[in-house]
Amino acid sequence: MPPKVVLVTGVSRYLGGQLAAVLAADPAIDRVIGLDSVPPSREMLAALGRTEFVRADIRNPLIAKVISSAEVDTVVHMNIGTAPGGAGGRASMKELNVLGTMQLLAACQKAETLRRLVVKSTTTVYGSSSRDPALFTEDMDARAVPSSGYAKDSVEIEGYVRGFARRRPDVSLAVLRFTNFIGRHIDSMLTRYFSMPLVPTVLGFDARVQMLHEQDALEVLRLATVENYTGTVNVGGEGVLLLSQAIRRAGRIPVSVPVPLVGPLGGLLRQTGVADFSPEQLRFLNFGRVVDISRLIDDFGYRPRLNTAEAFADFCAGHRPVIDPARIRALERRLLRVATLNRIQEPVDA
């Protein structure tokens, strides 16, 4: 049974806004209510269609009134910030993420009309360490439990969500653990990282990175909202890229930084506003993280249209490379002709 009234938190961000827009375009849904503490951009507002925008903080007790008066039956919680920069410092980011979620869940618990809750979580709950298995399944726990930042917030949020599920067993719950997002439009940690002309990496480490295309992320969120999957599921593209490989594919220049300098460099980039990477994101650059998505494909019933490499290629197509692969090919051809005295004209392909 499709939902009648959907509340989406965090609609001023890219994915939240897109989801609200898609839901608003679905005639089977009566009302879509969008919530955020900051107003959406003008383009976003145009795309939102018939979504009713409520400018409120999820920590505001008024949320309970909104939910009960509109008889919301489905809540999609996406208002979880990933970087302290956008939220005005780590303390307020944590307040918004963890206390905001608690408040929202408290309001949800009181809402008699509520039937379904969808939470956008993240695979950072698995942490990132040298002792990690190659792929995480949903039943595995982090080998090194995240102790700071977004990852720690997400672990706590999932804990509160489990508590809510115990108290309201009549509400069906889907927890979506997303890998890193990539695409032309979305603004994510990785899109900012791969947009830098010189990309810092950790010397002697090459993380395996799994990415999910923004359109696939949106489709999974929509299916989770309108259908009835219950449980926790990893959501990511198939396959992996090595960090160094991805940097090359994006036509960027990797700069290897020795381990002791990684922290100070991250701080410098943060202070100068070039990039905002938290310590746990820097750790991610060492070891990366890959999750098993067989539950997504078999149980949830969705296979991402683009795998990691294809999703990344779409991102690269939208960004001008610093080093154009075509120029490397041209250089190869020239070198080849000189070196083989014109006996071989064209490069060999594997």
Partner 1 sequence: MPEARVIPMPGVGDEPPRSRRAGSRVPAKATEPAVPTVPPTPTPTLPPTRTLPPLPADSGEAAPGGAGWEERVAQGLAFLRRRLTGDFEVDEFGYDEDFTDQVYLPALRPLYKSWFRIETFGMHNIPDSGGALVVANHSGTVPMDGLMTSLAVHDDHPAHRRLRLLGADLVFKLPLVGSVARKTGNTLACNADAERLLHSGELVGVYPEGFKGVGKPFADRYKLQRFGRGGFVSAAIRTGVPIIPCSIVGAEEIYPMIGNLKSLARILGIPYLPITPTFPLLGPLGLIPLPSKWLIEFGEPIPTAHLGTSAAEDPMLVFNLTDQVRETIQQSLYSLLMQRGSVFS
Footprint on this chain of partner 1 (rule: CB under 8 A): 130-135, 137, 140, 202-206, 208, 239-242, 244-249, 259, 287, 290, 323, 325, 328-329, 332, 335-336, 339-340, 343-344, 347-350
- Looking at the Cβ atoms of 101 and 232, the one nearer to partner 1 is 232
Phi and psi angles of residue 202, each rounded to the nearest 5 degrees, phi first? -90, 125
- Looking at the Cβ atoms of 53 and 194, the one nearer to partner 1 is 194
Among 296, 300, 307, 220, smallest CA distance to 19 is for 220
At 120, which amino acid appears? K
Torsion of CA 124, 130, 133, 136, to 10 degrees: 0
The tokens 């982090």 sit on which residue?
142
CB 259 → partner 1: shortest distance, Å? Answer: 7
- Looking at the Cβ atoms of 103 and 244, the one nearer to partner 1 is 244
Among 4, 106, 3, 22, smallest CA distance to 61 is for 106
**CA dihedral for 220, 225, 230, 231, sign (positive or negative):** positive
CB 336 → partner 1: shortest distance, Å? Answer: 5
CB 174 → partner 1: shortest distance, Å? Answer: 24
- Looking at the Cβ atoms of 57 and 206, the one nearer to partner 1 is 206
CB 150 → partner 1: shortest distance, Å? Answer: 24
Tell me if residue 39 falls in helix, strand or coil.
coil
In the chain, % helix, strand, coil (3-state, to 5) comes to 45, 20, 40
For 190, the enclosing helix (H) or strand (E) is helix 189-195
CB 339 → partner 1: shortest distance, Å? Answer: 5
* Cα gap 143→126, rounded to integer Å: 7
Question: Per residue, what are the HEC states of 213-241?
Answer: EHHHHHHHHHHHHHCCCCEEEEECCCCCE
* Cα gap 141→66, rounded to integer Å: 36
- Looking at the Cβ atoms of 78 and 240, the one nearer to partner 1 is 240
Residue 297 half-sphere exposure toward CB, CA atoms < 13 A: 12
CB 320 → partner 1: shortest distance, Å? Answer: 16
- Looking at the Cβ atoms of 195 and 245, the one nearer to partner 1 is 245
CB 283 → partner 1: shortest distance, Å? Answer: 12
Torsion of CA 306, 312, 316, 319, to 10 degrees: 100
CB 144 → partner 1: shortest distance, Å? Answer: 11
- Looking at the Cβ atoms of 113 and 340, the one nearer to partner 1 is 340
- Looking at the Cβ atoms of 112 and 348, the one nearer to partner 1 is 348
Tokens in use for 227? 């259908």
